[in-house]
Structure 1
Amino acid sequence: MKKWFISQSRKLYFGWIQRKKKMSNGTRLTYILNTVPQSDTLVIVLSSLALKGNSVYNHVRSLKDTPHNRLYILDNFGYEKRGVFYLGEKNGMEVRDAVEELIGEICDSTAITKKIFTGSCKGGTAAIYLGLRLKASKIIVGAPMYYISDCLNMKLREYLIPMLDKRNPNGENELNQVIRETVHNVTFNGQMYVQYSSKDEYYPSQIRPLINDLEEQKISLVVEQADYLRHDHCSRYFSSFLKSVLADGI
């Protein structure tokens, strides 16, 4: 009963404070924007993969005292509205384009000069991808996935199906390479922070190859090894890591 009450209270609260906006490509985004007038920094928080129910906001409570603007964007698309890695459906990029447009509008209207992208799991993957593309000053992630198709094929094939265009025989491989191609082809002058556990079941096939490529590209990188045993425990450790990095200054 207590868990149900907490869940319903969260739904009511977020339903009250969140905003919805239809972007120029027709994609409707749902988000929360907390503004701090004296700050020129926007912390963009992207959601991890929802294993049940719809996509939810992450790290709202953890960052409530952060003295910077915060933008939380739902990834409520795809399989049961649980997320498409902020990319799109059917090998499209309509969600990505809408998110980038929203971030641009907010930065222009609030005189933002620094952007920090953050998230864990799927949110970490998207934070790297969008952070590289939008020239973030910092990217702070936990247990990010690198090869999206491979990741979802391991356990969550049903999440992958809406992201693929059945008419495209190379669609799965294209989706698999989205993050890697960005890491290899985009110049990044900011700082990246990655927390992970070598005991995470995705570490050998996803996290380690990503870190190897980031190092190969000579991206300024700080890594922290946590000690959780399963991938779905990463968010419990990531909140503290995120707060500690932000507390060190922008």
Structure 2
Amino acid sequence: MKKWFISQSRKLYFGWIQRKKKMSNGTKLTYVLNTVPESDTLVIVFSSLTLKGKSVYNHVRSLNHIPHNRLYILDNFGYEKRGVFYLGEKNEMEVRDAVEELIMEICDSESITNKIFAGSCKGGTTAVYLGLRLKASQIIVGAPMYYISDCLKVKFGDYLIPMLDEDNPNSYNELNRVIRETVHKESYEGHIYIQYSTNDEYYASQIKPLIGDLKKKKISLFLEQAGYSYHDECSRYFSSFLKSVLAEEIKLIS
């Protein structure tokens, strides 16, 4: 009964404060924006994978205390509206383009000069990907995935189907290369903070290769090894990591 009450209260709360906007390509985004007029910093948090139910906002309470603007964007697309890694369906990038447009619009309207991208699991993958593309000041992530198709195939096959173009024989490989190609292509002068666990079942195949390629690019990395045993626990550990890193970063940019 308690869990049901919390779930319903959460739905009512976010249903009241969230906004919806149709972007120039026709994609409708749902998001929560908390503004702090005297701040020129925007913290953007992306949602992780959900095992059941629609996409939800993550790490909202963790950031209630910070004196800066916060943006939470839902990835309510794809399979049962559980997410498409903020990319799109059928190997398209309509969601990515809409999200980037929204972020830049908010940065312009709020006179933002520091962009901090954050998230765990799927949210971490997106934070790395869009953070590199949009030249974030800092990127703070937990257990990010590197090869999306391979990641989804292992445990989330239903998520993968709408993301692939069934008429394109290279669809699987193209989606798999999206993050890696961006890491190799984009220059980046900010800091990337990564929390991970060597016990994570995705560590060897996903997280370790990403860290290795970021090191080869000589990107400034700060790594923390956490003690969780399974990937599904990464979000809980990441909340504390996110708060501690932000506390230090906010001191530097204030």
TM-score by length of 2: 0.98
1:18 maps to which residue?
A: 18
- Write the distance in 2 (CA, Å) between the matches of 1:110 and 1:203: 38
- Write the distance in 2 (CA, Å) between the matches of 1:230 and 1:27: 34
Structure 2, unpaired ranges of 5+: none
- Write the distance in 2 (CA, Å) between the matches of 1:91 and 1:80: 18
Structure 1, unpaired ranges of 5+: none
Amino acid at match of 2:5: F
Q: Equivalences for 1:1-250 in 2 at 5 Å?
A: 1-249=1-249, 250=253
What SS does the aligned partner of 2:24 have?
coil
Over the residues paired in the alignment, what is the CA RMSD in angstroms? 0.5
What SS does the aligned partner of 2:118 have?
strand
Structure 1 stretches of 4+ with a deviation exceeding 6 A read none
Amino acid at match of 1:159: Y
What SS does the aligned partner of 2:62 have?
coil
Q: CA deviation at 1:194?
A: 0.2
* Residue correspondences, number: 250
- Write the distance in 1 (CA, Å) between the matches of 2:90 and 2:77: 12
Amino acid at match of 1:224: E
- Write the distance in 2 (CA, Å) between the matches of 1:144 and 1:84: 15
